[in-house]
């Protein structure tokens, strides 16, 4: 029994996110075989095994944060030398007159010989079957045929386009050749193992048929090419004009480029050089690393969009600036902030009565007393009591930043999209003043006169969709804030009050917060506090 621990990844890299697991329990693992794809803050790298044997246990899953030294995999029957070095070149190296010296030099000059072999090209007919497409997928629909009988195809060129649950994938040619027969038609459902295409002949005579290839190519948990080509999900676009690299030749890259690939963990033998003679540049290494990243498990999510026009008329609209920024901010917030949404509801029957009686006072000031204005005032009190809700998190500095001011953003629906103007110093303002400012700000926002400054500096956000409807929703935290309050539509509900059924006005609230800074109990307390403030107009006064 041997363990494979996450090795040192280089300078200042202590951990990375597991974005793909390239092996399964029961696999026979060999030394240097890539085990996982790990995303560090520098690049996506493949982590090669330093042990060999049969995998008995995989101790990480996709998405895990793996730390250097953490056990990733356990294997049985480790036949590798582990920490032990590889056997040494023949001692004849220093024997001046021993003929064997030549062979030794070969060994030392071409250390990577075995791993540089390109994929084998078979000479006879090659039957291309549908490979495993992923967990739980046992068939795919043939969307289109990308080649015709008689076509000459390059290695890895797409043969058939297949639609699976996760998106559209291409079945790549396991080697170069000529399409002899296509065994499926558009619209067919193909099952795993089904014969798809027959290829003949190799067009690259220079590639020795014996070259051991598949196993040394990164990113491809590839079974023997003759029966199962690389998983289609990991397919990359066919290279336009690959320069063939002959097995056993040193990799065509400058020492500085080889160093770069080593440092970011890219297996350079799998990189297609774009330079003359297939020379690999630093840019090629970076592009390859990026491609590995993109072609990983996220391929499905980022799968190319289908041709919607097949089903009817479409039109395309470019992003507006607001849309682009909203898309970016929401994705970033959603993917970086561990969100929790807490639900509660409050009885606003008394508040509504109070709002009506004071509404006229506010009207005299030229504004309308809205529930939002009251929610803002109550939220300001809650933020003072629970200051972590108006904090920001500095992950790099490992600090929490607390703000001793109380500016609250209010989500406003405009024709341009969602905008969030900020009301300053809510804690120091009367509800009347807040109502006046809210009215002005909403007007400015809707007429497009809002400035960038008006939308910055918020500590907390309130999104009131009650005017539109809905029973509840889960707002996304407006980073770098750590919490957002969603207000849904209040409605009259039958409620038991002192054992007696009464019609009461009930307002549903949802609080989404950043669980990194805010604990669940505090989330519940904060929202309860707001509910109490809204239920009883005197509550805040007593709270002081």
Residues that bind another protein (CB under 8 A): 8, 10-11, 81, 83-99, 101-106, 108-112, 206, 243-246, 248-255, 258-259, 262-263, 275-280
Q: Which is nearer to another protein, 42 or 515 (CB)?
A: 42
DSSP class of 115: G
Cα–Cα distances in Å, from 455 out to 38, 125, 451, 464?
38, 66, 7, 17
Element (H, E) at 542: helix 539-543
The CB-of-114 to another protein minimum distance in angstroms stands at: 13
Q: Say whether 515 is catalytic.
A: yes
To another protein, the closest distance from the beta carbon of 237 in angstroms equals: 22
Please report, to the nearest 10 degrees, the dihedral formed by the alpha carbons of residues 306, 307, 313, 315 taken in order.
80
CA–CA separation, 80 and 69 (whole Å): 19
Q: Residue 129: which of 182, 43, 173, 193 has the closest Cα?
A: 193
Residue 84 vs 404, nearer CB to another protein: 84
Q: What is the nearest approach in angstroms of another protein to the Cβ of residue 81?
A: 8
Beta bridge partners of 339: 514
For 44-79, the DSSP string reads EEEEE-S--EEEEEE---TT-EEETT-EEEEEES--
Pick 35 or 484: Cβ nearer another protein = 35
Rounded-to-integer distance, Cα 114 and Cα 440, Å: 72
**Cβ proximity of 203 and 152 under 8 Å:** yes
Check 183, 293, 339, 515 and give the catalytic one.
515
Q: How far apart are CA 370 and CA 350, in angstroms?
A: 15
Least distance to another protein, CB of residue 1, Å = 20
Closest distance between another protein and the C-beta of residue 281, in Å?
10
Output the DSSP codes for 394-450: ETTTTEEEE-SS--EEE-EEETTEEE--EETTGGGS-HHHHHHHHHHHHHHHHTT--
End-to-end CA distance of the chain: 65
Q: State in angstroms the smallest separation of the CB of 160 from another protein.
A: 30
The first and second tokens of residue 263, run together, are 């440092």
CB nearer to another protein: give 262 or 324: 262
- The residues that are catalytic are 515
């Amino acid at each position: 029994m041997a363990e494979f621990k996450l090795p040192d990844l280089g300078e200042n890299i202590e951990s990375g996110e597991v974005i793909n697991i390239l092996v399964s329990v029961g696999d026979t693992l060999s030394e240097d075989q890539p085990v996982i794809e790990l995303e560090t803050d520098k690049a996506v790298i493949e982590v090669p095994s330093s042990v060999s044997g049969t995998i008995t246990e995989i101790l990480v899953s996709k998405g895990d944060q793996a730390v250097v030294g953490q056990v990733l995999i356990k294997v049985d029957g480790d036949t590798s030398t582990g920490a032990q070095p590889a056997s040494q070149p023949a001692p004849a190296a220093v024997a001046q007159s021993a003929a064997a010296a030549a062979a030794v030099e070969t060994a030392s000059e071409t250390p990577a010989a075995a791993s540089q072999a390109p994929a084998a090209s078979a000479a006879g007919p090659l039957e291309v079957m549908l490979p495993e497409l992923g967990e739980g997928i046992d068939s795919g629909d043939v969307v289109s045929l990308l080649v015709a009988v008689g076509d000459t195809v390059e290695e890895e060129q797409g043969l058939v386009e297949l639609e699976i649950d996760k998106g559209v994938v291409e079945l790549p040619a396991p080697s170069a050749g000529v399409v002899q027969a296509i065994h499926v038609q558009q619209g067919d459902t193909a099952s795993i193992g089904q014969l798809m295409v027959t290829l003949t002949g190799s067009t690259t005579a220079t590639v020795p048929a014996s070259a051991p290839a598949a196993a040394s190519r990164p990113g491809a948990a590839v079974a023997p090419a003759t029966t199962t080509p690389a998983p289609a999900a990991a397919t990359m676009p066919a290279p336009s004009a690959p320069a063939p690299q002959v097995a056993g030749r040193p990799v065509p890259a400058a020492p500085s480029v080889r160093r770069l690939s080593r440092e970011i963990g890219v297996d350079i033998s799998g990189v297609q050089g774009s330079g003359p003679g297939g020379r690999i540049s630093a840019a090629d290494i970076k592009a390859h690393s990026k491609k590995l990243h993109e072609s990983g498990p996220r391929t499905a999510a980022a799968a190319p969009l289908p041709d919607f026009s097949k089903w009817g008329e479409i039109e395309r609209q470019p992003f507006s600036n607001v849309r682009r920024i909203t898309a970016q901010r929401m994705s970033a917030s959603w993917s970086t902030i561990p969100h929790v949404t807490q639900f509660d509801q409050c009885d606003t029957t008394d508040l509504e009565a109070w709002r009506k009686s004071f509404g006229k006072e506010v009207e005299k000031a030229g504004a309308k007393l809205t529930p939002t204005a009251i929610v803002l005032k109550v939220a300001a009190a809650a933020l003072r009591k629970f200051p972590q809700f108006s904090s920001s998190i500095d992950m790099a500095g490992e600090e929490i930043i607390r703000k001793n001011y109380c500016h609250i953003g209010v989500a406003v629906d405009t024709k341009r999209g969602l905008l969030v103007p900020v009301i300053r110093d809510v804690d120091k303002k009367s509800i009347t003043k807040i109502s006046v400012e809210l009215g002005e700000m909403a007007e400015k926002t809707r007429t497009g006169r809002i400035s960038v400054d008006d939308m910055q500096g918020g500590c907390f956000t309130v999104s009131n969709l009650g005017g539109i409807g809905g029973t509840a929703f889960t707002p996304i935290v407006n980073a770098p804030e750590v919490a957002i309050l969603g207000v849904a539509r209040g409605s009259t509900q039958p409620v038991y009050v002192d054992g007696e059924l009464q019609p009461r006005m009930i307002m549903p609230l949802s609080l989404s917060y950043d669980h990194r800074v805010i604990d669940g109990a505090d989330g519940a307390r904060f929202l309860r506090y707001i509910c109490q403030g809204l239920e009883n107009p005197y509550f805040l006064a007593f709270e002081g």
